[in-house]
Amino acid sequence: MGSTMRAVVLCGGEGTRLRPFTHTQAKHLLPVAGKPVVEHALAAVRATGIRDVGIVVSPSVEGQFRERLGDGSRLGLSVTYIVQPEPKGLAHAVLCAQSYVGNGPFLVYLGDNLLQGGITGVVNLFRSQSPAAVVTLRRVEDPRRFGVAVLEDGRLVRLVEKPPNPPSDLAIVGAYAFTPLVFQAAREVKPSFRGELELTDCLQWLIDHGHPVLPYEADGWWQDVGRPADLLVANRLLLSQIESRVEGEVDRGSTVDGPVVVERGARVVASRVVGPAVIGEEAVIERSTVGPHAAVGPRAVVREATVADTILMDGSRVEQGARIVGAVLGRGARVHLPMGKPSSAFLGDESTLEVKEEG
């Protein structure tokens, strides 16, 4: 079996809760800590040893994924695109990948889930025990927002979706391993009240039909990216793992403290960069303070400004004394604010936040 295992990364859905950013780009392609969310997920897949990945996308964004990820070779993967014609749920998305995975076992990972410890443990457990499925669980404070698992003697016996009175504190995380039995389950379960085919129902079907479903308990943090504020949380968590690397230009008048990545073509002039921070390709930082927890996108500009705990997407600009804390600026967005209190904002692509001096 070994290396024949394939991965299916689910990147469907419309990302409505991440507007305005998802008006113009797919949620999974929004940048966090200097890379699209999905590239962090794909790096976790690659770390398991799996090289063949099918990415399930909705038709409206397939082109964006192809443009960004290509055939996957830049990431050390072989990527195939699988179109889910309409958003009918996660289990439906998995069904769309049936011809891609064929008769072998496969990993399923939600492309907007980020796990500190990665997903290698899921694959290792599956390979060592050969169950019908492995599902990742993590203890959470408030399980009512999640699918919740009930265990007996280390086996899964029951799954409950978003229960008002949770039977345990073990939430289902978006990383699974399956045999092709799951396709039979997905064909036999009924759509949920949302009109979607749910993976939790498929797992319950496997359990009810006597197929062993094993839990893999993740420790460390787990973050999914559903709302704009989640982007900033994920940005902070992922930046905390970076190692310093300076390929761009940092002049003598600048200081760099802590773990900082300066990508090639970027210029840091008369500025202070406080890690953890990432300065993207061809970005310009002039007479400014950037960081901590700042991810400055490619070709973005920070000039005479202060930026912390913020994501600046491609080509955005923060200038003229602006102090930005806890913000997400879309591609090409511009902030011009005279010196004043720190501002936080979620600005869509190509939008402008400007204050004119009176006089």
Q: What is the pLDDT of residues 26-71, one digit of tens each?
A: 999 999 999 999 999 999 999 999 999 999 999 999 999 999 999 9
Residue 82 counted as domain residue: yes
In this predicted structure, what is the pLDDT of residue 1?
41
Q: Structure pTM?
A: 0.93
Residue 267 counted as domain residue: yes
Domain endpoint, select from 213, 238, 263: 238
| Whether 73 and 43 share a structural domain | yes
Tokens 């040893």, residue located:
49
Q: CA-CA distance, 316 to 349, in Å (whole number)?
A: 8
| Whether 191 and 273 share a structural domain | no
| Whether 73 and 164 share a structural domain | yes
Two structure tokens written together for 286: 């002039």
CATH number, residue 279: 2.160.10.20
Cβ-Cβ contacts under 8 Å for 162 (sequence gap 6 or more): 144, 145, 146, 147
Two structure tokens written together for 117: 């410890």
| Whether 174 and 196 share a structural domain | yes
Residue 158 counted as domain residue: yes
| Whether 218 and 79 share a structural domain | yes
Longest dimension (CA), the chain: 77
In this predicted structure, what is the pLDDT of residue 347?
85
Residue 133: enclosing H or E segment and its boundaries?
A: strand 133-139
Residue 310 counted as domain residue: yes
| Whether 272 and 150 share a structural domain | no
Cβ-Cβ contacts under 8 Å for 104 (sequence gap 6 or more): 1, 4, 5, 6, 180
| Whether 22 and 168 share a structural domain | yes
| Whether 87 and 206 share a structural domain | yes
Question: How many structural domains are present in the chain?
Answer: 2
In this predicted structure, what is the pLDDT of residue 332?
95
| Whether 253 and 310 share a structural domain | yes
Do 260 and 275 meet the contact criterion of CB atoms below 8 Å apart?
A: yes
Two structure tokens written together for 88: 């009918």
Closest C-alpha among 18, 26, 21, 110 to residue 65: 26
Domain endpoint, select from 195, 221, 238: 238
In this predicted structure, what is the pLDDT of residue 358?
52
| Whether 48 and 171 share a structural domain | yes
In this predicted structure, what is the pLDDT of residue 336?
85
Domain endpoint, select from 221, 238, 255: 238
Residue 359 counted as domain residue: no
Residue 256 counted as domain residue: yes
In this predicted structure, what is the pLDDT of residue 342?
75
Residue 110 counted as domain residue: yes
Closest C-alpha among 121, 168, 114, 161 to residue 140: 168
In this predicted structure, what is the pLDDT of residue 357?
55
CATH number, residue 197: 3.90.550.10
| Whether 112 and 130 share a structural domain | yes
| Whether 230 and 338 share a structural domain | no
Domain residues for the domain of 326 are 242-354
Residues of the chain with pLDDT under 70: 1-3, 339-340, 355-359
In this predicted structure, what is the pLDDT of residue 112?
94
